[in-house]
Amino acid sequence: MTIAWNKYPIGEFYDEIISSPGRARKPAQKLLSYLKSLDKGDIASRKLAAEATIREMGVSFTVYTEEGNIDRAWPFDIIPRVIAKKQWDTTSAGLAQRLTALNMFIDDLYHEQRIIKDGVIPEFVLKQSANYRKECEGISPAFGVWAHICGTDLVRHTDGQFYVLEDNLRVPSGVSYMLENRSIMKRVLPEVFEVIDIAPVGDYTSRLFDTLVSLSPRKVKKPVVVVLTPGIFNSAYFEHAFLAQQMGAELVEGSDLVVQEDNVVYMKTISGLERVDVIYRRIDDLFLDPEVFKKDSVVGVPGLMRAWRAGNVAMANAPGAGVADDKVIYAFVPEVIRYYLDEDPLIPNVETFLCYDDVQRDHVLKNLDKLVVKPANESGGYGMLIGPHSTKKEREKFAELIKANPRNYIAQPTLALSTAPTLVGNDLAEPRHLDLRPFILQARDTYVTTGGLTRVAMKKGSLVVNSSQGGGSKDTWIVDTEGDRR
């Protein structure tokens, strides 16, 4: 028996694969006819193969619980998510546009602050931003770029259009899972890759390496590039190790590095100290350097900021880049794009209400049961209120929080996230909500991944896709239907 695709319940949402009962959207047609050829036994064995592959490849993420840290296997659904190449090309251009503007914006904030003087963004928004770092004022990183690696969250609305949900400019993670998802799929469904023109994703790590190398302050043939991880207990440690390995860079912890009197960063090697040129840091700003930020940070390196300010080492992302991650700033990004680039944004924002504004706050407080309220500087889906799923008590709590600190909250309509068929057992596919996190690299050049990491809320009706909160993932295919090969 195969999956009864004509009974697949398309909801009121945009479905990425199925357009009408039993029929697929154009870029997914070959995929659907392939899926229709699989019976229950085939699906069960492919699923098992995927699970075994994940265990053997050791693809895992760490969950923090009261009993300690648990290393969990990566939850993965074997039905991919398909996007037409033509649409992706526009989206990709929009992502590049957005990051270019954001980098000009960050550079401006740490120098002249023209955008504030010109009255586009109110000064107090910046003054009260938790991620603005006074210590970074006046610094000029190479190419004027502060955020070299960005993981932007996109959602697709009922209208079929992509919207930006948030910009992650601090230490975005997930790219290794995007790459591993593709390796898993190639092992599990090899024959589909022969008949469908799926864009490859594999060159990300070499692009990342080139980006990092181009930042080296020393113009030497082989700059020393390191990945700085907080260590094995970090939830993204798997990714840190993966990227270091794929790039041939050293994976270091704070204790492997030392900054000496000459304001140069060195790593401790078997032949003594060796100079470090570029640090891809996967540690938050505040933990980077106990001399400047949190004094009790044990994962950082004392003196790192001295070395960076002296121009003796490059850091990606630059300290202070997170200022543009603020969700209040997010609301201004369309204006930011117009201001610096004199272009209209290619990808729209999700409608956002700013609680510091009296009129908008009133609207938010009156509609808490319909809106999603987010703190301006959290990540990972924490500290949110999802109105329609909330209790009266929770809404009252958030109303107080908002009134106490309006600058720190924004609200957005509850999103109609798109869905895609996801396996439930071996002979049933049901719609599950998903988002997309593409990764953008910027230094002298800009690079956007083909597709990105598709995260799925595995629970029926749920909108939470974070892996720490029960989310899973799917491979993401950018499919070219224009010059169809076969």
- The 328-367 site mask, x for binding other proteins (CB under 8 A), equals ----------------------------------------
- The residue (of 51 and 357) whose beta carbon lies closer to other proteins is 51
Q: Is 286 in the site for other proteins (CB under 8 A)?
A: no
* CA-closest candidate to residue 61, choices 471, 404, 377: 471
Q: Is 232 in the site for other proteins (CB under 8 A)?
A: yes
d(CA 129, CA 330): 12
Tokens of 454: 């598709």
- The residue (of 225 and 314) whose beta carbon lies closer to other proteins is 225
As measured in angstroms, the least distance from the Cβ of 203 to other proteins is 17
Q: Is 224 in the site for other proteins (CB under 8 A)?
A: no
- The residue (of 234 and 449) whose beta carbon lies closer to other proteins is 234
Helix 175-188 vs helix 237-247: crossing angle, to nearest 10: 80
d(CA 124, CA 288): 26
Tokens of 142: 């190479």
DSSP label at residue 26:
G
How many residues line the site for other proteins (CB under 8 A)? 25
- The residue (of 270 and 404) whose beta carbon lies closer to other proteins is 270
- Per CB under 8 A, the segment of 54-62, 167-175, 385-393, 431-439 that binds other proteins is 54-62
- The residue (of 83 and 251) whose beta carbon lies closer to other proteins is 251
* CA-closest candidate to residue 53, choices 481, 369, 475, 485: 475
As measured in angstroms, the least distance from the Cβ of 157 to other proteins is 40
As measured in angstroms, the least distance from the Cβ of 71 to other proteins is 9
Which amino acid type is present at position 233?
Answer: F
d(CA 23, CA 192): 18
Q: Is 200 in the site for other proteins (CB under 8 A)?
A: no
d(CA 133, CA 323): 8
- The 256-285 site mask, x for binding other proteins (CB under 8 A), equals x-x--------xxxxxx-------------
Q: Which of 38, 50, 179, 249 binds other proteins (CB under 8 A)?
A: 249
CA distances 291 to 50, 258, 287, 288, 462, Å, are 46, 13, 10, 9, 43
Which amino acid type is present at position 149?
Answer: I
Reduce the DSSP state of residue 202 to 3 states and report it.
coil
Residues engaged in binding other proteins (CB under 8 A): 55-58, 232, 237, 241-242, 244-245, 248-253, 255-256, 258, 267-272
